[in-house]
Amino acid sequence: MKKNTMTLTNNMTGDSYEYKILEGTRGSCVVDIRTFFADSGMFTYDPGFTATAACESTVTFIDGGKGELRYRGIAIEELANNHTYLETCFLLLNSRLPSEEELYKFDLEIRHRAFLHEGLRHLFNAFPDNAHPMATLSAAVTALSTFYNDHLDMTHEEEFLEMAHRIISKMPTIAAFAYRHSLGIPFIQPDIDLGFTKNFLTMMRAYPGGKMHLCANGHEDIKDVEVRALDTIFTLHADHEQNASTTVVRGVASTGAHPYVAISSGISALWGRAHGGANESVIAQLEYIGSVENVEAFIKRAKDPDDDFRLMGFGHRVYKNFDPRAKILKNLQDELREELNLDTELMAIARKIEEIALSDDYFISRNLYPNIDFYTGIILTALQIPKSMFTPIFVIGRTVGWITQWIEFKKDKTSKIARPRQLYIGE
């Protein structure tokens, strides 16, 4: 009879060890090697965790081969097309979509919590104008922990949720303040009359007093189509399983540090261009390429093993078919092309890169497809969002995912401090 175990044999000594194979509800099985060191006196070696599952989770499911992504069992296509970002936040935190009444209450609470303590507002003045908003954001979120000391010994569901709602609600305000500080222009306070996404766009764009700019036709307000596009971008970024920044958040959580400090560490991890920083690098790279005629030369560089140049917005550790988030954004781009005036030179360069890369053997053989970051920049540029704010926008969307994973870690009785070992090769 077949057993659901795996036997590992040490060919140097002939010793054998048997380990259970655990089955999840979907996706790959895992071999439970928790006793491996105690059994064999050896560690497993897996730099970059390419073959390691570090936790059990019920939050997000990804099938990288099929290009499938689900939050709490619901397909990302369903959420992006038929639900708002706030509904998605509620889903991640509560494992189900809200009723109409629950959504009303949740929305109201998020609006009310968006204001920052005056002391925190003054903190922004301490940073130089040319600070990258990601650095300011990470520092301000660490500072937020100084205002909410009560959250170190949470035991009740309500305390977890209050802490989560607060950070979800304040993140857009902190991000918009970081941006406005970098321009040296007055902060715009959150407007209680506005929903989550429109409020953020207003805090980014408005003149003091919360007014939009005047144009030939009168007062130019934020368009519904812009709110919908950004709301979808937030939904697509809401969670992504055990990615680098979430792994950092869980790692900090494992030491017992404050949840907002864990989130701040996640922000720092996200900043790098191999992760969330790629969305800023994609547009910087398109600008650097400069024109459609130059695309072939850059594709050649991306394929050259002696050149460090990589095509930003291509490839993914998990998706080896296509990134379903990228597919949704590509459709959204096509849909919004006219309304948001997307037919720019940058768009033409991006289309050329996509066309060549998708038919080139180098990219096909390595399963390198456009990822989410390849498409966000073009849409965000059309929404008048500057490049330096692309990754902070990723942060706003991902905050709910980080905090949901933080809560899951805290509630998991089997969780332990993250403490990997090493293969020592020094003196």
In angstroms, give the least distance from the CB of 312 to ligand CMC: 5
Distance CA 420, CA 422 (A): 7
Are 321 and 369 a contacting pair, CB within 8 Å?
A: yes
37-44 CB contacts, 8 Å cutoff, 24+ apart: 37/421, 40/8, 40/10, 40/15, 43/421, 43/422, 43/423
Task: Give the residue with the Cβ less far from ligand CMC, 207 or 362.
Answer: 362
SS3 137: helix
Applying CB under 6 A, the span of 19-27, 70-78, 260-268, 370-378 interacting with ligand CMC comes to 370-378
Instruction: Return the amino acid letter for 418.
Output: A
Q: Binding of ligand CMC at residue 366 (CB under 6 A)?
A: yes
Q: Which residues are tagged catalytic?
A: 316, 373
Q: Binding of ligand CMC at residue 373 (CB under 6 A)?
A: yes
Q: Binding of ligand CMC at residue 368 (CB under 6 A)?
A: yes
In angstroms, give the least distance from the CB of 77 to ligand CMC: 18
Distance CA 130, CA 128 (A): 5
Task: Give the residue with the Cβ less far from ligand CMC, 188 or 311.
Answer: 311
Residue owning tokens 């394929």? 303
Q: What is the CA radius of gyration of the chain?
A: 23
Q: Binding of ligand CMC at residue 240 (CB under 6 A)?
A: yes
Half-sphere exposure of 183 (CA within 13 A, CB side): 15
Task: Give the residue with the Cβ less far from ligand CMC, 47 or 209.
Answer: 47
Q: Binding of ligand CMC at residue 70 (CB under 6 A)?
A: no
Distance CA 10, CA 296 (A): 50
In angstroms, give the least distance from the CB of 255 to ligand CMC: 24
Are 92 and 83 a contacting pair, CB within 8 Å?
A: no
Q: What share of the chain is helix, strand, coil (3-state, %, to 5)?
A: 55, 5, 40
Q: Binding of ligand CMC at residue 312 (CB under 6 A)?
A: yes
Distance CA 124, CA 174 (A): 9
In angstroms, give the least distance from the CB of 315 to ligand CMC: 2
How many residues in the shown chain lie near ligand CMC by CB under 6 A?
Answer: 20
Q: Binding of ligand CMC at residue 372 (CB under 6 A)?
A: yes
Q: Binding of ligand CMC at residue 314 (CB under 6 A)?
A: yes
Strand residues in 72-198 grouped as ranges (E): 74-75
Task: Give the residue with the Cβ less far from ligand CMC, 306 or 427.
Answer: 306
Q: Which tokens in the block code for residue 333? A: 């781009």
Q: Which of residues 252-281 bind ligand CMC (CB under 6 A)?
A: 274-276, 278
Please identify the residue of the shown chain whose CB is closest to the bound ligand CMC. Answer: 315
Q: Which tokens in the block code for residue 94? A: 């509560």
**Of the candidates 235, 243, 247, 391, which one interacts with ligand CMC according to CB under 6 A?**
243
In angstroms, give the least distance from the CB of 325 to ligand CMC: 9
Applying CB under 6 A, the span of 207-215, 221-229, 336-344, 368-376 interacting with ligand CMC comes to 368-376
CA distance from start to end of the chain: 49
Distance CA 351, CA 302 (A): 17
In angstroms, give the least distance from the CB of 246 to ligand CMC: 10
Q: Which of residues 180-239 bind ligand CMC (CB under 6 A)?
A: none
Q: Which residues bind ligand CMC (CB under 6 A)?
A: 240, 243, 274-276, 278, 302, 310-317, 366, 368, 371-373
